[in-house]
């Protein structure tokens, strides 16, 4: 039961990270402005005066966050296995 909870929590965390990704805007001079997190369907506006310039998803940061959650989820999942060595060997096919 605990393994299912860890797996479910990891899946929910990844789903929320995909639904609410980090946004940024890269200016022509190479400067980057972080715009925070927002719903994927409504990206944040870079400048409120120019309402048609939106931020883009910061893909590298999103992949780093997802991989971190997957690593912690895998570690948490591995800690939920039984501690008895003989039981673990019998449970394996």
pLDDT, the chain, mean: 87
**Residue 71: pLDDT band with limits 50, 70, 90:** very high
| 42: number of Cβ within 10 Å | 8
Domain ranges of the chain: 2-91
The pLDDT of residue 27: 87
Cβ atoms of 38 and 23 within 8 Å: the answer is yes
pLDDT tens, 42-55? 999 887 777 778 88
């Amino acid at each position: 039961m605990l393994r299912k909870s860890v797996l479910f929590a990891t899946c929910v965390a990844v789903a929320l990270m995909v639904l609410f990704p980090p946004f940024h805007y890269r200016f022509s001079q190479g400067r980057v402005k972080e715009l925070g997190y927002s719903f994927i369907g409504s990206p944040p506006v870079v400048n409120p005066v120019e309402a048609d310039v939106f931020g883009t998803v910061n893909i590298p940061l999103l992949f780093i966050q997802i991989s971190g959650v997957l690593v912690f989820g895998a570690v948490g999942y591995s800690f939920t296995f039984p501690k008895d060595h003989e039981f673990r060997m019998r449970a394996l096919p």
